[in-house]
């Protein structure tokens, strides 16, 4: 009678089956089943075929042979070519980002057959990348994309078995998001003052970024039709030409200090077919990977280096340090959850002190006045 046994580890089992085939010989093969129960069902099916005078395990088809020989590099290529989801706003951009991240996987394990990759290989990959200086966030993203690729391949019938990424401990990035590279108030003032004189065509973009906290794609995708300068309101409808990151439009009040700048810029802004607020000098939409003089502006204003996205962090950080409300900041930044915005909460002055003062276990003691003293004072 056939039997099942584990040739892997307790936390990462590899269930094998042993059975007597139709030729009378005992054979031992991997079941490729995720649980012992399914492996037992698998050996029962084998014995049923043997009882009917057939091979316990039929000869594999050419498709099955090809699937068994699929390498990690080949699977990644299929994933980047065929994966899609209705949640992807820009599939081409997504595939480009995933491909750039997955090269950390394929560069180390691309030669391996997918069926041979286990928890140990991915754990070693994690440790090697961290030791090489890759950030915890990037390593965690590599594992996340690898897991998505594995689940997609299983759903498409390209591979069987468990997703090995599920067994791998992911790097913790807790606390890392609290350190932002932002401009100080003096640096922000110096940047705007320098740009007003030296880069008048870029000055409105820097000012709008600092006073609204809009993402780069939201700034470059902003149209004049989205700017109600009479009511002092911006409506964020796009990131470049797509929906914003949250998928929903949002309204952002225009700071009174920014309003006259935008009114003047509306007269000076280069014409564009899409009526963009911040087009290039030739009227085209700006691109994400172009600098447009920002590094030169930081150097000219003697500011320490930050990314353009750092202007968004600068807005959020100084908003909270000025006593802003965390829920208001969530709406302004367009975060889908306040949990994302909470990374700025520690910057609020007296944030925890004011909140902890709400808690009180004892009732206030009533003031007691001496009656004789009261009458004496009344006279």
Whether 124 is covered by a domain: the verdict is: yes
Give residues with Cβ within 8 angstroms of 274, minimum separation 6. 223, 285
Encoding tokens for residue 242? 């797509």
Same domain? 281 vs 212: yes
Encoding tokens for residue 327? 């829920």
Whether 330 is covered by a domain: the verdict is: yes
Whether 368 is covered by a domain: the verdict is: no
Same domain? 275 vs 145: no
pLDDT in the model for residue 354? 65
Same domain? 140 vs 252: no
Query: Tens of pLDDT along the chain (379 residues)?
Result: 789 988 887 777 888 889 999 888 898 888 878 788 988 999 999 999 889 888 888 765 555 545 668 899 999 999 998 898 877 877 888 888 899 999 999 999 999 999 889 999 999 999 999 999 998 989 999 999 999 999 999 888 888 778 999 999 998 865 554 567 899 999 999 999 999 999 999 999 999 999 999 999 999 999 999 999 999 999 999 999 888 888 889 999 999 999 999 999 999 999 999 999 999 999 999 998 789 999 999 999 999 999 999 999 999 999 998 888 899 999 999 998 888 888 888 777 665 666 667 767 776 666 656 666 666 666 6
42, 59, 76 — which closes off a domain?
A: 59
pLDDT in the model for residue 207? 96
Same domain? 231 vs 298: yes
> How many domains does one find in the chain?
3
CATH of the domain at 328: 1.10.443.10
Q: Domain residues for 51?
A: 3-59
pLDDT in the model for residue 364? 66
Same domain? 232 vs 323: yes
User: What is the rounded CA–CA span in Å between residue 180 and residue 177?
Assistant: 7
Encoding tokens for residue 299? 């150097």
pLDDT in the model for residue 177? 47
Same domain? 110 vs 21: no
pLDDT in the model for residue 371? 61
The answer to whether 110 and 72 are in contact (CB under 8 A) is yes
Same domain? 96 vs 134: yes
Same domain? 44 vs 72: no
Same domain? 54 vs 72: no
Encoding tokens for residue 63? 């498709």
Whether 361 is covered by a domain: the verdict is: no
- pTM above 0.85? no
The answer to whether 56 and 43 are in contact (CB under 8 A) is no
């Amino acid at each position: 009678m056939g039997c099942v046994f584990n040739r892997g580890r307790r936390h990462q089992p590899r269930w094998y089956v042993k059975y007597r085939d139709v030729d009378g010989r005992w054979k031992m093969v991997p079941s490729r089943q995720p649980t012992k129960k399914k492996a037992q069902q698998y050996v029962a099916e084998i014995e049923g075929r043997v009882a009917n005078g057939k091979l316990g395990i039929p000869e594999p088809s050419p498709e099955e042979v090809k699937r068994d020989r699929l390498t990690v590099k080949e699977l990644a290529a299929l994933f980047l070519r065929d994966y899609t989801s209705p949640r992807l706003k820009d599939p081409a951009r997504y595939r480009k980002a995933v491909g750039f991240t997955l090269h950390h996987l394929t560069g180390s394990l691309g030669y391996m057959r997918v069926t041979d990759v286990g928890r140990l290989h991915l754990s070693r990959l994690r440790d090697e990348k961290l030791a090489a200086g890759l950030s915890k966030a990037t390593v965690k993203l590599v594992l996340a994309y690898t897991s998505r690729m594995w689940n997609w391949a299983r759903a498409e019938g390209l591979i069987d078995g468990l997703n090995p990424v599920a067994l791998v401990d992911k790097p913790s990035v807790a606390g890392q998001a609290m350190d932002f590279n932002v401009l100080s108030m003096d640096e922000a003032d110096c940047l705007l003052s320098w740009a007003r004189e030296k880069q008048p065509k870029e000055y409105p973009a820097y000012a709008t970024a600092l006073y609204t906290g809009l993402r780069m794609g939201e700034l470059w995708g902003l149209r004049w039709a989205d700017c109600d300068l009479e009511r002092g309101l911006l409506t964020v409808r796009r990131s470049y030409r797509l929906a914003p990151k949250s998928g929903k439009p949002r309204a952002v009040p225009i700071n009174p200090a920014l309003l006259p700048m935008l009114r003047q810029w509306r007269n000076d802004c280069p014409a564009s077919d899409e009526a963009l607020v911040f087009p290039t000098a030739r009227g085209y939409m700006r691109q994400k990977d172009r600098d447009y003089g920002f590094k030169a502006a930081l150097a000219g204003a003697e500011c320490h280096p930050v990314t353009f996205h750092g202007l968004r962090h600068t807005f959020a950080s100084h908003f909270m340090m000025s006593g802003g409300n965390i829920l208001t900041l969530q709406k302004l930044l367009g975060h889908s959850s306040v949990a994302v915005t909470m990374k700025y909460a520690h910057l609020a002055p007296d944030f925890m002190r004011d909140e902890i003062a709400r808690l009180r276990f004892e009732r206030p003691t009533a003031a007691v006045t001496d009656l004789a003293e009261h009458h004496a004072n009344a006279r």
